[in-house]
Amino acid sequence: MITTILVLMILVAILLIIVILVQNPKGGGISSEFGGGSTQMFGVQKTGDILEKMTWGFFAFLLVASLSTVIIYKTVGSAATTDSDVNVERATSAPALPTAPAPTAPATAPQGTPTVPAK
């Protein structure tokens, strides 16, 4: 489901780029290509309004789709990652082996050992 939304978002983003590039910043746009001024009786006169509505529509779709993708991923993806994280932790952490304390050397010589005099 997330893959479908991402593919749709990519297509809408490409269409949004095309619609923005088609628009004329001074209001002419496609309607000026067809002989358009306000004196034209028949033909395309309101392309600027259509392109503007398409721009806002594509933007709204991208906004809603990105937010819904995050929400879906957090609800569906968090359950899957939580289970796998627990399994990974169990598999990687080995139980601690009990270690015997290291033998300590006696501080003084035992009582029954002879001492060798120095020459």
Per-residue model confidence as pLDDT tens digits over 50-61: 888 999 999 999
The average confidence (pLDDT) of the chain is 74
**Mean pLDDT value across residues 58-69:** 95
Q: What percent of the chain has pLDDT over 70?
A: 48
Mean pLDDT lowest among 22-36, 45-59, 91-105: 22-36
C-alpha 2/C-alpha 86 separation (Å) is 24
78: confidence class by pLDDT, cuts 50, 70, 90: low
Q: What is the pLDDT of residue 49?
A: 83
> What is the structure's pLDDT at 67?
94
Q: State mean pLDDT over 16-28.
A: 80
| 3-state helix/strand/coil string of the chain | CHHHHHHHHHHHHHHHHHHHHHCCCCCCHHHHHCCCCCCCCCCCCCHHHHHHHHHHHHHHHHHHHHHHHHHHHHHHHHHHHHHHHHHHHHHHCCCCCCCCCCCCCCCCCCCCCCCCCCC
**Is pLDDT of 70 > 70?**
yes
